[in-house]
Amino acid sequence: MEGLVKLSFYCFAAASISFVLSAICYISYALGRIRLRHAAFATPEGRTFTASSAEFLPGPSGAARFATMLAWFGVFFQGLAVLFRTIVSERGPYSNMYEFSLAFVFAVSLVYLIFERMYEVKQLGAIVMTIAVGMCLYIWS
């Protein structure tokens, strides 16, 4: 049983790393690219005015695909961590805050990925994966 506890911890560590990288990629996709444009206008009187505008472009789609892949890796390893913890304790992983937090991160991430698959909205990953990373930091503490 000691081996399964260590394996559960290692799976959680792998899931945490995957969630952090996924959150970074989702944030870079959600922020997108901002292009600043400067224009000069001349009036009939000979005055020149300059104007600036910002244009918000969508983020790189490769970052979004990579973020989704990393999130699925994280869900897989988090699910294994919950499964191994359940086998060791011979009950559901809900008796203490550590086990409940493991299950919460797994459930939130899985529900988000199903939602993303159904509605193809990847910008929400920046919020959901940041919450998952925050919970992982809480678990580590």
DSSP string, 6-21: HHHHHHHHHHHHHHHH
Structure tokens at 116: 């993303």
Q: Are 102 and 12 in contact (CB under 8 A)?
A: yes
Q: How confident is the model at residue 116 (pLDDT cuts 50, 70, 90)?
A: very high
* Whole-prediction pTM: 0.83
Mean pLDDT of 32-56: 80
Q: What CATH fold (topology level) applies to the domain 2-32+59-140?
A: Four Helix Bundle (Hemerythrin (Met), subunit A) (1.20.120)
